[in-house]
């Protein structure tokens, strides 16, 4: 070691520790060059030419997943029963529900749902419940003793889900000749009710009671 000639400028010596000028190992050096090249390609691709960001890639993956779910649901729509049924929001399928309703239901419920032999389907009074599961069940099994047909014989589950969703879309509309209410009053489900509102209502009723007692 002592015989190695080191240029004076590089003869750094700190407390006996020498700084040497060894040539860099080739793997390290080429790795370093490669990372510079990579950095340029990366910068051009993603910052100049507008390549997809991680967020874009995430959204694409989510959209692909959603498309798969939709495809599955479309192929599985006839596996629906009263436990798994959900309210459709797809305008196309609600329109199919309207078609079925116009063909098969208007004779007893009228085209606007106002009711004739069957009850008014637009008001808040229900004989058999106002949830999608209950309405689906009523349509599926009918009320044979009261004249409501069990539609499972004629309609497949997807079609019953469509017509049930259409029936629920009629709620709150104003038919020309509404039949008088039948069944029990069920307030339309409110969107998430905050605890604050509930408390406010409670305190009002308490103070009212207090006034009456005085």
CB of 187 to ligand HEC, least distance (A): 15
| Tokens (6 digits) for 201 | 């209502």
128: contact with ligand HEC by CB under 6 A: yes
Only segment of 12-20, 87-95, 144-152, 204-212 that touches ligand HEC (CB under 6 A)? 144-152
CB of 109 to ligand HEC, least distance (A): 5
- Residues in the chain, total: 214
85: contact with ligand HEC by CB under 6 A: no
Among 96, 122, 138, 165, binds ligand HEC (CB under 6 A): 138
User: Measured in whole angstroms, how far is the alpha carbon of residue 36 from the centre of its chain?
Assistant: 44
Only segment of 34-42, 52-60, 61-69, 107-115 that touches ligand HEC (CB under 6 A)? 107-115
Nearest Cα to Cα of residue 186 among 121, 138, 137, 139: 121
Cβ proximity to ligand HEC, 85 vs 101, nearer residue: 101
Position of tokens 């005085």? 214
Q: Rounded distance, CA 13 to CA 116, Å? A: 105
Task: Name residues contacting ligand HEC, limited to 12-41 (CB under 6 A).
Answer: none
Only segment of 32-40, 79-87, 102-110, 203-211 that touches ligand HEC (CB under 6 A)? 102-110
**CA gyration radius for the chain?**
36
Nearest Cα to Cα of residue 118 among 90, 79, 92, 151: 151
108: contact with ligand HEC by CB under 6 A: yes
Q: Are 158 and 80 in contact (CB under 8 A)?
A: yes
184: contact with ligand HEC by CB under 6 A: no
Half-sphere exposure of 25 (CA within 13 A, CB side): 3
Return residues touching ligand HEC (CB under 6 A): 101, 104-105, 107-109, 117-119, 121, 126-128, 135, 138-139, 143, 146-149, 151, 163, 167, 183
């Amino acid at each position: 070691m002592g015989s190695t000639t080191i240029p004076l400028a590089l003869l750094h010596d700190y407390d006996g520790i020498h700084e040497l000028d060894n040539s860099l190992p080739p793997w390290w050096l080429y790795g370093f060059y490669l990372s510079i090249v990579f950095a340029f390609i990366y910068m051009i691709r993603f910052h100049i030419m507008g390549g997809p960001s991680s967020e874009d890639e995430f959204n694409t993956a989510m959209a692909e997943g959603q498309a798969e779910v939709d495809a599955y649901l479309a192929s599985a729509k006839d596996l629906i029963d009263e436990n798994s049924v959900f309210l459709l929001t797809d305008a196309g399928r609600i329109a199919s529900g309207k078609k079925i309703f116009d063909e098969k239901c208007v004779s007893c419920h009228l085209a606007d749902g106002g009711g004739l032999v069957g009850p008014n389907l637009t008001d808040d009074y229900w004989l058999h419940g106002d949830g999608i599961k209950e309405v689906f069940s009523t349509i599926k099994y009918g009320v044979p003793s009261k004249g409501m047909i069990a539609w499972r014989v004629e309609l497949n589950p997807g079609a019953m889900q469509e017509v049930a969703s259409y029936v629920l879309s009629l709620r709150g509309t104003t038919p020309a000749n509404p039949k008088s209410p039948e069944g029990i009053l069920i307030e339309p489900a409110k969107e998430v009710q905050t605890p604050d509102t509930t408390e406010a209502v409670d305190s009002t009723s308490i103070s009212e009671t207090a006034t009456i007692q005085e």
